[in-house]
Amino acid sequence: MEREFEAILRTLQPSEDLLGMATDMFRELWDARLAASRSQAGSIRSELGDIERKVERLIDRVVEAEDSQLITGYE
C-alpha cells in the first residue's frame, strides 16, 4: 500500500500557476523580512550612537573630575 501511495505522489506535479503563486508569496515574505531587518539595523545603529555619546560624556566627566571619591565612583 505504501509503495502505491509513493508512486501516486511521484506522479503529482504542481501547475505552473501554483509555482508562480508560491514564488510570488515567498518573494513578498523575503522582501518584508528584508525591510524589517534593515529597519532593525537602523535602530541598532542609532542606539549604538547614543551609547557611544554617553560613554564619551562619562569619560569627559572622569577626566575633568578632581574629587578622588568621585573618580573612584566613576571607575
In the chain, the number of structural domains is 1
pLDDT of residue 20: 96
Task: Judge whether 62 lies within some domain.
Answer: yes
Cell of 22: 508560491
Inside any domain, residue 6? no
Full residue range of the structural domain in which residue 65 is found: 16-74
Asked if residue 1 belongs to a domain, the reply is no
Residue 2 lies in a domain: no
Residue 34 maps to a domain? yes
Task: Provide the pLDDT for residue 25.
Answer: 98
Confidence check: pLDDT of 74 > 70: no
On whether residue 26 sits in a domain, the answer given is yes
pLDDT digits (tens, 9 = 90+) for 2-55: 888 988 888 888 889 999 999 999 999 999 999 999 999 999 999 999 999 999
Q: How far apart are CA 6 and CA 39, in angstroms?
A: 45
Per the model's pLDDT, the better-predicted residue between 30 and 60 turns out to be 30
- Say which residues have a Cβ less than 8 Å from residue 63's Cβ, sequence separation at least 6: none
